[in-house]
Amino acid sequence: MTWDEARRGLYRQLEPTARPNGLSRLNLALVGLIIVAVFSAILETEPAISGGRELMFDKLELAIGITFLVEYVARLWIAVENPKFAKSRFPRLRYALTPIAIIDLLAVLPTLFAFGGGSSLLLRFFRVLRMLRLAKLGRSSQAWDHIRNAAYEKRYEFGLILGLLVVTILVSSSLMYWAEADAQPDKFGSIPRALWWSIITLTTVGYGDVYPVTMLGRVLAAFLAVMGVCLIALPTGLFAASFTEAMDKHREELARKKERKD
Amino acid sequence: MTWDEARRGLYRQLEPTARPNGLSRLNLALVGLIIVAVFSAILETEPAISGGRELMFDKLELAIGITFLVEYVARLWIAVENPKFAKSRFPRLRYALTPIAIIDLLAVLPTLFAFGGGSSLLLRFFRVLRMLRLAKLGRSSQAWDHIRNAAYEKRYEFGLILGLLVVTILVSSSLMYWAEADAQPDKFGSIPRALWWSIITLTTVGYGDVYPVTMLGRVLAAFLAVMGVCLIALPTGLFAASFTEAMDKHREELARKKERKD
Amino acid sequence: MTWDEARRGLYRQLEPTARPNGLSRLNLALVGLIIVAVFSAILETEPAISGGRELMFDKLELAIGITFLVEYVARLWIAVENPKFAKSRFPRLRYALTPIAIIDLLAVLPTLFAFGGGSSLLLRFFRVLRMLRLAKLGRSSQAWDHIRNAAYEKRYEFGLILGLLVVTILVSSSLMYWAEADAQPDKFGSIPRALWWSIITLTTVGYGDVYPVTMLGRVLAAFLAVMGVCLIALPTGLFAASFTEAMDKHREELARKKERKD
Amino acid sequence: MTWDEARRGLYRQLEPTARPNGLSRLNLALVGLIIVAVFSAILETEPAISGGRELMFDKLELAIGITFLVEYVARLWIAVENPKFAKSRFPRLRYALTPIAIIDLLAVLPTLFAFGGGSSLLLRFFRVLRMLRLAKLGRSSQAWDHIRNAAYEKRYEFGLILGLLVVTILVSSSLMYWAEADAQPDKFGSIPRALWWSIITLTTVGYGDVYPVTMLGRVLAAFLAVMGVCLIALPTGLFAASFTEAMDKHREELARKKERKD
């Protein structure tokens, strides 16, 4: 077996778009490894679980990091087989600059830095960065396309609602600042501080750590709650409708493709 | 009356599918008994109600358990009359392995174990197991079919959203762990601990037992709340649409059946 | 003017269905009086407002009560003019037994009892009973018909969901009782006590007075919250769809009526 | 260049409807200034940001106020060029009485009063009044028209639901006042006080500062929560549907316009 044949064979194994039906065994194994990596990253943060097993978690992290590094280099090597980059003068560089390749590179980095120690906020940052490995799943799924299409279809509506939402939140915060700043200066003493109340109330989460206590504040809050609740539910309804539409289109396309085959 | 005639008569009384219109009196009585059994199981847990009446509740539980046992044996006996199992070599065994027959068996068990005493967690487990008797109602209702069809119709969408939901919750928890672990180590000290905050916030329940206190945590929480609320509302909208569709189909079918008769 | 002519004239003034377009001046005045009566009943309960003005509120209540009594007697008197009751042998009795006539009678009662004093719970009961006068508005509005039609159209679906809701709430309460009874006996010590948690969580209100503290309880609560939130939103979506449909039908009918006229 | 030519040139720059495609550079700069003004107004209220920089914020506010004053006078000057007011005898007065011109005037006022000092509530009022400058954005956007059309299309439904909402909130408050007034006189001691509970519960915000503690109160609250949640979600569904319809119409119109051009 020549190098070229090996590269072509590996390309067929690693590149999901090279196989029309389902994932190859190698890709399924990589999906499994991503899930293991994410669960290990989650469990390592809990002292009740990782306490006394630091070495085991470190070894696992190292093994995962090396595997992902090998995968990254392999994908770089086979990039020349991809018809998408075949016409380019530097197919490997072109591939290395695609979003999914950058994500692959970022997924290797935490392993290198995690052993460097440093401040607790920075250490946690690298631990959390490992969760980015979830994004590697994007290669093996068409799901992201459906979601993106549904959002893109209604981009004008979403922009409009986002603008309205920002205005509503700013106006709510200003009014509550006006009404409550004297009574609760630490919670409503400025408009930026009142923003926390606005968002937690308008999403109906309502933790109860911040709420109006004056008569004026309560009357304003009551009106804002009813109006704002109505507004924040708008994008939900729109997105649900758009998502259903996008999925129906996808089904029709699949049906048409099948028909053409028969 | 021979045994065979008795068996056939009992079959017509006990098997809901043997009668096209409504439930037989015997089945109605069993539905009533299920409701009595569930309410008795609920009320027995409240000391203010069951205190001093333990013997009465024990006797009622025993009577219910014996009746359900008799029902189970009777259904086993008449299984040979059911055309669904008629071709099988062991019709009674085939019936005994259907989900509804297993539920019937499980509904008898709590009576046997409830008098065994034991630890409070185990005792409560058998008490809660009695609530399983609600599942016996499934035999007398077509409702479950409609719900299941509605869910099945959109299984791909639900799978997609479930995946997105898991990713959103994991990413939320990771980011909040990063931001808040120093300020509130008991509540956000690890990603698994931050999961509780994520779920209670994204469902907009917002008890207020856990909420961010740092500036970074609040800014992240505000973004996650707005985005997550939108996402978690998606399955609701989809399921409502799918359920309405399933019910409309059911109505059309009923109308068509009626037409054919006339 | 004879008595008969007076009765016919009053009938045209008081009965909304006797005039095709809009309400008569007398009925508009009665609507105004109902709103005054309700606001007076609300304000009287607040000591900061009614303190020192008890006599004024008592006089207003007496005036309102007498006016509603006169209205009730007048409507009884003109009932014989109503074609709906014309064929009956006792038209006034038939009218007196209609729901709206019973509401009219009940709206007079609080005035009689309010001055009787008694325990604070009973006194408050008669004060709250005055709010029933809002139901008198039902005569002057077609709104109630639309709402009722929308609900009736989907009665089977609502029944199904109601059943599912009851089962979900009972099962949630049972599971949380199992998990949390040892840790929080006063809040989860029995299934009836856990019901409060179930309803406040599944509606996503989430006051924060009751929440799970054990690991098992939190895992269960997280699952129940996600599932239950989805379920409780179902009737909302259905009713919104049904209500829109009912209103569209109403508009089409109005348009058809207008066309026929032209 | 004569005065008339200058006025015509300025009109083309300042009036958005005078240019079919997009905003002029001058209008874009004004939009930018509005955003700067709003952010400066928000940040000035936070002592941690504005502390020690009062003079800077005062100068910025003065510069913004003078620019908006110049803009107001300029728009008044060019009003005679607007064909809408051309036939009027006093075109400038007619323009000065349009809502957007009044908003422009109000957006200048806070600058004049902000330096006057006075009570903290009044000072905050002028600070909050600056947020009104957001409304100046209305001139540069067609968004408001879409929202208004969507709301207008279903005005009858919204009126109906608003009435139902008011009745539900009043009845909820009355019932909770009846049940809880003895146990929590400061929170449920009168119907107006119970209103706060009603609104915060029915919108599912649920801060947790007010909740029932008696058995009767909890049973009532559970029923009201389930029913009310269903009702308050109605306008959301309706408005989402109406908004989508309005946007679809807008798209069709744009498409038809384009077709006619080609």
| Optimal mutation site among C131, C198, C250, interface D, most CBs of chain D within 10 A | C131
Nearest by Cα to D121 from A214, A149, B93, A96: A214
Mean pLDDT for the stretch of residues B10-18 = 82
CB-based burial, A211-247: b 16+ in 10 Å, e otherwise? bbebeebbebbbebbbebbbbbbbbbbbbbbbbbebb
Please determine, for residue D211, whether its predicted confidence score (pLDDT) is greater than 90: yes
Q: What is the DSSP letter of C227?
A: H
Structure-token match 């030519």, residue found: D5
| Optimal mutation site among A31, A35, A44, A45, interface B, most CBs of chain B within 10 A | A45
**Is the model more confident about B155 or about B232?**
B155
Query: For a pLDDT cut of 90, what percent of chain A falls above it?
Result: 23
Q: Which residues of B touch A131 (CB under 8 A)?
A: 170-171, 174
Six-digit token string for A153: 């279809």
Six-digit token string for D171: 């009845």
Residue B199 sits at the vertex; the CA angle it makes with B198 and B202, to the nearest 5 degrees, is 80
- pLDDT tens sequence for chain C (262 residues): 688 888 888 888 888 777 766 778 888 899 899 999 999 989 988 888 888 888 898 889 889 999 999 999 999 998 888 888 878 888 889 989 988 888 888 888 877 766 555 567 777 787 788 888 888 887 766 666 777 777 787 777 777 778 888 888 999 999 999 999 989 999 998 999 999 999 999 888 999 999 999 999 999 999 988 887 777 666 666 666 677 777 777 778 778 877 887 7
Give the whole-angstrom CA distance, residue B79 versus residue B72: 11
Question: Do A167 and D133 contact (CB within 8 A), yes or no?
Answer: no
Q: Which residues of D touch B208 (CB under 8 A)?
A: 207-208
Please determine, for residue A37, whether its predicted confidence score (pLDDT) is greater than 80: yes
Give the whole-angstrom CA distance, residue B16 versus residue A14: 55
Distance, in angstroms, between A209 CA and closest chain B CA? 7
Question: What are B159-185's pLDDT values in tens digits?
Answer: 777 888 888 899 999 999 999 998 999
- Looking from the CA of C70 toward its CB, the CA atoms found within 13 Å total 8
Question: Do A49 and A43 contact (CB within 8 A), yes or no?
Answer: yes
Please determine, for residue D48, whether its predicted confidence score (pLDDT) is greater than 70: yes
Q: Which of A84-93, B251-260, C84-93 has the lowest mean pLDDT?
A: B251-260
Determine the pLDDT at residue A236. Answer: 66
Q: Which residues of A touch D147 (CB under 8 A)?
A: 160, 164
Distance, in angstroms, between C207 CA and closest chain D CA? 4
Question: Do C72 and C104 contact (CB within 8 A), yes or no?
Answer: yes
Q: What is the mean pLDDT of chain A?
A: 83
Give the whole-angstrom CA distance, residue A57 versus residue A49: 10
Determine the pLDDT at residue A237. Answer: 66
Distance, in angstroms, between D77 CA and closest chain A CA? 30
Determine the pLDDT at residue D72. Answer: 92
- Looking from the CA of D147 toward its CB, the CA atoms found within 13 Å total 18
Q: Which residues of A touch D138 (CB under 8 A)?
A: none
The closest CB to that of D131, out of A170, A230, A234, belongs to A170
Give the whole-angstrom CA distance, residue B193 versus residue B177: 8
Give the whole-angstrom CA distance, residue B204 versus residue B227: 12
Determine the pLDDT at residue D108. Answer: 85
Coil, helix or strand for B95? helix
CB spacing of C124 vs D178 below 8 angstroms: yes
Question: What are D85-131's pLDDT values in tens digits?
Answer: 878 888 889 989 988 888 888 888 877 766 555 567 777 787 788 88
Range A143-146 contact pairs with CB under 8 angstroms and sequence separation of 24 or more: A143/B160, A143/B163, A143/B164, A146/A243, A146/A246, A146/A247, A146/A250, A146/B160
Query: For a pLDDT cut of 70, what percent of chain D falls above it?
Result: 89
Please determine, for residue B260, whether its predicted confidence score (pLDDT) is greater than 60: yes
Subunits in contact with chain A (3 or more CB pairs closer than 8 Å): B, C, D
Please check whether residue B206 touches D, CB under 8 A. Answer: yes
Q: What is the mean pLDDT of chain B?
A: 83
Determine the pLDDT at residue D141. Answer: 67
Chain C residue with CA closest to D202: the answer is C205
CB spacing of A121 vs B193 below 8 angstroms: no
Please determine, for residue A173, whether its predicted confidence score (pLDDT) is greater than 90: yes
Residue D173 sits at the vertex; the CA angle it makes with D171 and D175, to the nearest 5 degrees, is 70
For chain D, the DSSP string reads: --HHHHHHHHHHHH-GGGSSSS--HHHHHHHHHHHHHHHHHHHHT-HHHHTT-HHHHHHHHHHHHHHHHHHHHHHHHHGGG-HHHHTSSSHHHHHHTSHHHHHHHHHHHHHHHHTT---HHHHHHHHHHGGGGGGGGGGG-SHHHHHHHHHHHTHHHHHHHHHHHHHHHHHHHHHHHHHHTTT-HHHHSSHHHHHHHHHHHHTT---SSS---SHHHHHHHHHHHHHHHHHHTHHHHHHHHHHHHHHHHHHHHHHHHHHHH-
Determine the pLDDT at residue B109. Answer: 81
Determine the pLDDT at residue A199. Answer: 92
> What is the total residue count of chain A?
262
B208: left (phi over 0), alpha (psi -120 to 50) or beta: left
Please determine, for residue D188, whether its predicted confidence score (pLDDT) is greater than 90: yes
Six-digit token string for C243: 């209500």
Determine the pLDDT at residue D197. Answer: 94
Q: Which residues of D touch A156 (CB under 8 A)?
A: 247
For chain A, the DSSP string reads: --HHHHHHHHHHHH-GGGSSSS--HHHHHHHHHHHHHHHHHHHHT-HHHHTT-HHHHHHHHHHHHHHHHHHHHHHHHHGGG-HHHHTSSSHHHHHHTSHHHHHHHHHHHHHHHHTT---HHHHHHHHHHGGGGGGGGGGG-SHHHHHHHHHHHTHHHHHHHHHHHHHHHHHHHHHHHHHHTTT-HHHHSSHHHHHHHHHHHHTT---SSS---SHHHHHHHHHHHHHHHHHHTHHHHHHHHHHHHHHHHHHHHHHHHHHHH-
User: Which H or E run includes B4?
Assistant: helix B3-14
A76: exposed, middle or buried (Cβ count in 10 Å: 0-12, 13-18, 19+) = middle
CB spacing of D47 vs A189 below 8 angstroms: yes
Coil, helix or strand for B28? helix
Please check whether residue A166 touches D, CB under 8 A. Answer: no
CB spacing of B238 vs A244 below 8 angstroms: yes
> What is the total residue count of chain D?
262
Give chain C's domains with CATH numbers.
3-140 (1.20.120.350), 142-262 (1.10.287.70)
User: Which H or E run includes C25?
Assistant: helix C25-44
Q: How confident is the model at residue A254 (pLDDT cuts 50, 70, 90)?
A: confident
Please check whether residue B175 touches A, CB under 8 A. Answer: yes
Question: What are B236-251's pLDDT values in tens digits?
Answer: 666 666 777 777 777 7
Please determine, for residue A253, whether its predicted confidence score (pLDDT) is greater than 70: yes
Q: Which residues of D touch C141 (CB under 8 A)?
A: 163
CB spacing of D208 vs B208 below 8 angstroms: yes
Subunits in contact with chain C (3 or more CB pairs closer than 8 Å): A, B, D
Distance, in angstroms, between A182 CA and closest chain B CA? 22
Q: Which residues of A touch C206 (CB under 8 A)?
A: 206
Query: For a pLDDT cut of 70, what percent of chain A falls above it?
Result: 89
Give the whole-angstrom CA distance, residue C204 versus residue D35: 36
Determine the pLDDT at residue D175. Answer: 92
Please check whether residue C20 touches A, CB under 8 A. Answer: no
Please determine, for residue D261, whether its predicted confidence score (pLDDT) is greater than 60: yes
Q: What is the DSSP letter of C52?
A: T
Question: What are A110-128's pLDDT values in tens digits?
Answer: 777 665 555 677 777 877 8
Determine the pLDDT at residue D184. Answer: 93
Question: Do D203 and A230 contact (CB within 8 A), yes or no?
Answer: no
Subunits in contact with chain B (3 or more CB pairs closer than 8 Å): A, C, D
CB spacing of B207 vs C206 below 8 angstroms: yes
Determine the pLDDT at residue C110. Answer: 79
Helix (H) and strand (E) counts for chain B?
14, 0
CB spacing of C236 vs D237 below 8 angstroms: yes
Query: Residue D235's Cα: distance from chain center in Å?
Result: 19
Question: What are B15-68's pLDDT values in tens digits?
Answer: 877 776 677 888 889 989 999 999 998 998 888 888 888 889 888 988 999 999
The closest CB to that of A207, out of B206, B237, B241, belongs to B206
CB spacing of D191 vs C143 below 8 angstroms: no
What are the φ/ψ torsions at residue B46 (nearest 5 degrees)?
-90, 110
Determine the pLDDT at residue D238. Answer: 67
Query: For a pLDDT cut of 90, what percent of chain B falls above it?
Result: 24
CB spacing of D207 vs B208 below 8 angstroms: yes
Q: How many contacts (CB atoms, under 8 Å) link A and D?
A: 110
CB spacing of D247 vs A156 below 8 angstroms: yes
The closest CB to that of C175, out of B41, B128, B195, belongs to B128
Question: Beta-carbon neighbour count of residue C141 at 10 Å?
Answer: 14
Chain A residue with CA closest to B176: the answer is A128
The closest CB to that of A175, out of D128, D205, D237, belongs to D128
Please check whether residue B203 touches D, CB under 8 A. Answer: no
CB spacing of A204 vs C204 below 8 angstroms: yes
Determine the pLDDT at residue C146. Answer: 72
Please check whether residue D206 touches B, CB under 8 A. Answer: yes
Q: How confident is the model at residue D200 (pLDDT cuts 50, 70, 90)?
A: very high
Question: What are D52-95's pLDDT values in tens digits?
Answer: 888 898 889 889 999 999 999 999 999 888 888 878 888 889 98
Question: Do A214 and A185 contact (CB within 8 A), yes or no?
Answer: no
Give the whole-angstrom CA distance, residue A210 versus residue A198: 10
Chain C residue with CA closest to B143: the answer is C160
Give the whole-angstrom CA distance, residue B193 versus residue C251: 54
CB spacing of A170 vs D38 below 8 angstroms: yes
Q: How confident is the model at residue D177 (pLDDT cuts 50, 70, 90)?
A: very high
Longest dimension (CA), chain B: 83
- Tell me the three-class secondary structure of A166-226, residue by residue: HHHHHHHHHHHHHHHCCCCHHHHCCHHHHHHHHHHHHCCCCCCCCCCCCHHHHHHHHHHHH
Q: Any residues with CB less than 8 A from the CB of C238 and at least 6 apart, and which?
A: B240, B243, B244, C154, C157, C158, C161
Dihedral angle over CA of A220, A222, A223, A227, nearest 10:
130
The closest CB to that of D240, out of A189, A206, A238, belongs to A238
CB spacing of B170 vs A200 below 8 angstroms: no
**Is the model more confident about A6 or about D238?**
A6
Q: Which residues of A touch B177 (CB under 8 A)?
A: 45, 124, 128
Chain B residue with CA closest to A236: the answer is B230
Question: Do C229 and C172 contact (CB within 8 A), yes or no?
Answer: no
Chain A residue with CA closest to B193: the answer is A46
Q: What is the mean pLDDT of chain D?
A: 83
The closest CB to that of D209, out of A167, A193, A211, belongs to A211
Please check whether residue B207 touches D, CB under 8 A. Answer: yes
Give the whole-angstrom CA distance, residue A215 versus residue A218: 5
CB spacing of A240 vs B229 below 8 angstroms: no
Helix C54-78 to helix C99-114 angle (10° resolution) is 150
Return residues 218-257 of B near A (CB < 8 Å). 218, 222, 225-226, 229-230, 233-234, 236-238, 241
CB spacing of A207 vs B211 below 8 angstroms: yes
The closest CB to that of A182, out of D38, D120, D128, belongs to D120
Q: How confident is the model at residue D207 (pLDDT cuts 50, 70, 90)?
A: very high
